[in-house]
Structure 1
Amino acid sequence: MKVLDLQCPDGHRFEGWFASADDFESQLSRKLVECPMCGATNVSRVPSAPRLNLSGASEAQSTAGQASPAGQMAQAAAQWQAHAMRVMREVLEKTENVGDRFAEEARRIHYNEAPARNIRGVASAEDAQALVEEGIDVMPLPVPAALKGPLQ
């Protein structure tokens, strides 16, 4: 099993697990490898440290000293991405997907024609602007491709 560090054009870093380097290249050429944050399929390998499973490695790491500034920045970016994904999952779990009926359902809720609840869906820019002008609070929420399927 090959674990590769990958990055999309937007700078999102993530891991990919592949049977071999050839398997990675094959999946990449068929656009099957995509960024879990934005769904981009134009990803590339980035340099990574070798992964060794040695007994006592965790003890040695804790006494090895501080990470480099670049390593700290990469770690902070990875933590931010993980936090953003957790928040997005929570939003998706606590809202009802009304799909293309978003503007219609938001109006019905606002005018007490439907039960009050948290909803999400799809609306055009014009529909969203019209909702705002009517005093209905809306917010764009780009959902990463990795979360568009069933929640696990």
Structure 2
Amino acid sequence: MIQYALRCDQGHDFDSWFQSASAFETLKNAGHMSCAICGSAAVEKAVMSPRVAVPAKAETTAALRKPETEGEKAITALRRHVEANSDYVGTRFAEEARSMHLGETPERAIYGEANGAEARKLIEDGIPVAALPFLPNRKAN
């Protein structure tokens, strides 16, 4: 994927993603491109600066990972406490919380993921839940 800065003949600047440089040309030549602001079909690539990835230095990376403020330190401590004293149930959070509330499974401390509708339904049904100020760790592979 490639992102291009674009400009129409009316002077509107916008950007868009394309599968490749040739995909941009194919769409433009077929007349399938228009300004995102005014709809003009006269769209050209605008001047743009290249994006260059710069590897971070080890000390910079370490400094970015270190909590700096008292609030960040408190959230880090809360996360460690929750992870050490609770079971992660993933996307089954609403199902597990409801099952414990109904007495179908033994009560225990759990944390996981629920969408807004699931969380709202739990609260409406009198099941105590709270949003955590962090996302759960997820395995990438």
**Structure 2 length normalisation: TM-score?**
0.49
**Structure 1 length normalisation: TM-score?**
0.46
Point out the structure with max Rg over C-alpha.
2
